[in-house]
């Protein structure tokens, strides 16, 4: 089963990465908990951010559902969107963008050759403020995107406050 192969590949790939924890959410590997730890020199430093990943029955032909559970101030993640809907702006997991490619940005939608590790790497890039994954020019949270582009010091202050309040034990 493809889910098993992708899960094992991701476990092997991130076993020595202290910023990634991947584990089953319950009793199956088609429902996963991903924890991404914030790194120094980002507003998310010391935070632990929980993401839920659910593999659909038609995986790998359809992308996994990914939801950010931890409240965070991020241009590409909107914590006000309820579970069951997409709260992460990432072409890779958007079911409306399957098979698409944006020549200008290089962003692409899901295709069956992509894996769980590709999703984890993109989410890690978002949380570690790495281009092109941290993308305030194409925000889901418009206020955070505007701050990140035009008042970065205010964005960092608020993101650190939210990290302290919601993502640090």
Residue 13, φ and ψ in degrees, nearest 5:
-65, -35
Report which of 7, 20, 30, 54 is spatially closest to residue 125, judged by C-alpha positions. Answer: 20
- Those residues whose C-beta lies under 8 Å from the C-beta of residue 1, and which sit 6 or more positions away, are none
Measured distance CA(18)–CA(104) in Å, rounded = 33
CB 134 within 8 A of CB 159: no
Q: Which of 20, 55, 77, 89 is catalytic?
A: 89
Q: Identify whether 129 is a catalytic site residue.
A: no
116-133 b/e (C-beta count within 10 Å ≥ 16 → b): bbebbbbbbbbbbbeeeb
**Matching residue, tokens 């032909």:** 61
Q: Which residues are known to be catalytic? A: 89
């Amino acid at each position: 089963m493809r889910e098993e192969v992708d899960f094992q590949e991701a476990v092997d790939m991130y076993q020595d990465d202290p910023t990634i924890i991947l584990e089953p959410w319950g009793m199956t590997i088609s429902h996963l908990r991903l924890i991404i730890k914030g790194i120094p020199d980002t507003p998310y430093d010391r935070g632990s951010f929980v993401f839920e990943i659910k593999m659909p029955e038609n995986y790998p032909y359809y992308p996994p559902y990914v939801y950010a559970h931890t409240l965070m101030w991020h241009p590409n993640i909107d914590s006000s969107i309820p579970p069951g809907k997409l709260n992460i702006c990432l072409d890779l997991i958007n079911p409306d963008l399957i098979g698409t490619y944006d020549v200008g940005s290089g962003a692409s939608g899901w295709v069956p050759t992509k894996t769980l590790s590709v999703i984890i790497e993109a989410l890690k890039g978002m949380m570690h403020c790495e281009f092109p994954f941290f993308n305030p020019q194409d925000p889901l949270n418009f206020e955070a995107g505007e701050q990140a582009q035009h008042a970065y010091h205010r964005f960092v202050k608020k993101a650190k406050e939210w990290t302290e309040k919601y993502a640090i034990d």
